[in-house]
Amino acid sequence: MMTLSVGTSGALRMAHHGPVIPDEQSTWCYYCAEGFHLIGAATAGAGNCVNWFVKDLMGGAMGFGQLETAAAAADPATAPYFLPFLFGERCPGWDDGRLGGFCGIAPEVGTGAMYRAVLEGVLFNLYQNYLILVEMTGLLSTISISGGITKSPLWMGMAADVFGAELTENTGEHASLLGAAYMAQRTMGQITSLKDIPRRRVNCMSRTWKNMKII
Taking the chain (215 residues) in runs of 10, the rounded mean pLDDT of each run is 92 91 92 89 97 94 94 89 97 96 92 96 97 88 87 92 85 76 90 79 40 36
Q: Do 115 and 70 form a contact (C-beta atoms < 8 A)?
A: yes
- Domain residues of the chain, as ranges? 2-205
What confidence score (pLDDT) does residue 201 get?
Answer: 46
What confidence score (pLDDT) does residue 197 get?
Answer: 81
Strands 2-6 and 142-146: parallel
Q: Which of 120, 122, 109, 102 is nearest to 49 (CA)?
A: 122
Q: Which of 87, 88, 84, 92 is nearest to 28 (CA)?
A: 92
What confidence score (pLDDT) does residue 174 get?
Answer: 74
What confidence score (pLDDT) does residue 77 get?
Answer: 83
What confidence score (pLDDT) does residue 202 get?
Answer: 42
Q: Among the residues of the chain, which ranges form H helices?
A: 47-51, 64-73, 111-137, 153-163, 175-187
Q: SS3 for 205? A: strand
pTM of this prediction exceeds 0.75: yes
Distances (CA, A) of 19 to 28, 40, 114, 199: 10, 11, 40, 24
What confidence score (pLDDT) does residue 200 get?
Answer: 57
CATH level 2 (architecture), domain 2-205: 2-Layer Sandwich (3.30)
Nearest-angstrom CA–CA distance, 204 and 190: 29
